[in-house]
Amino acid sequence: MIMSFIELTNVTIKYGSIVALENISFKLEHPFFAIIMGPNGAGKTTLLRALIGLVKPSRGEISVFNLDPVKDPYKVRSIVGYVPQMITVDTSVPLRVRDVVLMGIISKMKPPRVFKTPRINYEIERALKVVGLGELHDELFSILSGGQKQRVMIARAIVTKPKLLLLDEPFSMLDAEAKCELAELIYRLYREMNISILMAAHEISPCLPYEPLILILNKKLYGIGKAHDVLVREVLAKAYAGYMEIGKIAILGEDHG
Ligand SMILES: Nc1ncnc2c1ncn2[C@@H]1O[C@H](COP(=O)(O)OP(=O)(O)OP(=O)(O)O)[C@@H](O)[C@H]1O
Ligand SMILES: [Mg+2]
C-alpha cells in the first residue's frame, strides 16, 4: 500500500530579506489531526500557504499527497480545502449562506464553469449539514455570529470533499463555548470523514481532548509530537524566547497551584 502524506524537506521561505521559515522538515501521514503553534510572526500562515503553492520555498521541497504545490497548484488545491486567517467574504454584497458555500465549488472549477444545479445544491446542503447549519442556507451571511460564519467558511472549504483541510486561526474570533464546539466539529471531520487537519492556532486548549499532534514553530520547527512531549518548558522556552506569551501557555506536568 502506498502511504499518502505531506512532507517538507529542508524548506526555507523568505519574503525579500525576511526569513519566515528556516530549514523546516517534517512528515505527516494521512489522516492526521495536527496543530501548528507559535507566536505572532512565527510563519504559521506562511507554512499553510506554501502547502497550496501561494508562496514558494526559496530552498527545499514540499510534497502534498505526492504533488508539488509549486508545479501543480491546481491539482493540489483540488484536494486541499483552505480556511484563511481572516474571513474573506465581502459583506457589502448581500450574499446568502448557500452563495458563500457555492464559491468554494466555483473557485475549484476550470473554465468553462458549467454545472448541474440540482447536484450542486445537494452538495451545498450536505456541506452545511456537516457543519450543523442545515437550517440556515438561505440566511444572509452578514448577520451570522462569528462562530456561524466560521462554520460557513469550513463548509465552503469542504464542499469539494478535500483530503486535507488547512485552517488558519479558526478560534480567534470566538468565545469559549464556540471554540469548544468548533474544535469538536473539526475533530469530527477528521474522525468521521477521514479529512486530514492542519490548523494554525495560538490557543490549543479547545483541541487538547482530541490529542492532536502539535508542531511548535517559530521560523524553525522546535518540536513535533503529542502535548506531553512538546508542551514542556525546554521546548517552549526556546520557541517562545523573548515573547510574553509563554506565561499564558499551560506547561504540562508542572504544578501552578
Ligand atoms: N506578504 C508578505 N510580505 C512580506 N513579509 C511577510 C509577508 N507575509 C508574512 N511576512 C512576514 O513573514 C513572517 C511570518 O509571517 P506569518 O504571517 O507567516 O506568521 P504567523 O505565524 O502566521 O503570524 P500570526 O500569528 O500573526 O498570524 C513575519 O515576519 C511576517 O512579517
Ligand atoms: Mg498567521
For the beta carbon of residue 178, count every other beta carbon within 10 angstroms: 18
- Best mutation site among 12, 14, 15 for ligand 1, i.e. most ligand atoms within 8 A of its Cβ? 15
Residue at 119 is within a domain: yes
pLDDT of amino acid 4: 74
| Residues 6-33 pLDDT 10s | 999 999 999 999 999 999 999 999 999 9
19 CA → ligand 2 middle, Å: 15
30 CA → ligand 2 middle, Å: 24
Strand order in the sheet with 5-15: 18-29, 5-15, 59-64
Atom of ligand 1 nearest to the CA of 169: 27
21 CA → ligand 1 middle, Å: 10
Mean pLDDT of 118-123: 91
Is pLDDT of 1 > 70? no
Whose Cα sits closest to atom 26 in ligand 1? 40
How far is it, in rounded angstroms, from Cα 233 to Cα 210? 22
182: domain range? 5-245
In the numeric block, the cell 473539526 is attached to: 186
Residue at 93 is within a domain: yes
Whose Cα sits closest to atom 3 in ligand 1? 15
| Residues 127-183 pLDDT 10s | 999 999 999 999 999 999 989 999 999 999 999 999 999 999 999 889 999 999 999
Cβ atoms of 249 and 216 within 8 Å: the answer is: no
How far is it, in rounded angstroms, from Cα 92 to Cα 84? 19
Who lines ligand 1 at CB under 6 A?
A: 15, 18, 20, 38, 40-46, 85
Atom of ligand 1 nearest to the CA of 200: 22
Q: What is the CATH number of the domain that holds 80?
A: 3.40.50.300
pLDDT of amino acid 15: 97
Nearest ligand for residue 216 CA: 1
Residue at 24 is within a domain: yes
Q: 178, 169, 100: which is closest to 136 by C-alpha?
A: 100
How far is it, in rounded angstroms, from Cα 125 to Cα 83? 19
72 CA → ligand 1 middle, Å: 24
Cβ atoms of 6 and 31 within 8 Å: the answer is: no
93 CA → ligand 2 middle, Å: 26
Residue at 165 is within a domain: yes
Lowest pLDDT segment from 1-5, 194-198, 218-222: 1-5
Is pLDDT of 254 > 60? no
| Adjacent-strand bridge partners of 13 | 21
How far is it, in rounded angstroms, from Cα 70 to Cα 62? 8
Atom of ligand 1 nearest to the CA of 21: 14
How far is it, in rounded angstroms, from Cα 131 to Cα 118? 20
Q: 156, 166, 216, 215: which is closest to 190 by C-alpha?
A: 166
Residue at 208 is within a domain: yes
Residue at 136 is within a domain: yes
20 CA → ligand 1 middle, Å: 7
Residue at 188 is within a domain: yes
Write out the three cell numbers for 168: 488558519
Atom of ligand 1 nearest to the CA of 85: 27
Atom of ligand 1 nearest to the CA of 42: 21
**β-pair type (5-15, 164-168):** unpaired
| Adjacent-strand bridge partners of 80 | 164
Q: Judge residue 173's burial from the number of C-beta atoms within 10 Å of its C-beta, 0-12 exposed, 13-18 middle, 19 or more buried.
A: middle
Cβ atoms of 190 and 10 within 8 Å: the answer is: no
Domain count, the chain: 1
Whose Cα sits closest to atom 6 in ligand 1? 15
Nearest ligand for residue 215 CA: 1
pLDDT of amino acid 257: 37
101 CA → ligand 2 middle, Å: 23
How many Å is the Cα radius of gyration of the chain? 19
For the beta carbon of residue 184, count every other beta carbon within 10 angstroms: 14
How far is it, in rounded angstroms, from Cα 44 to Cα 202? 10
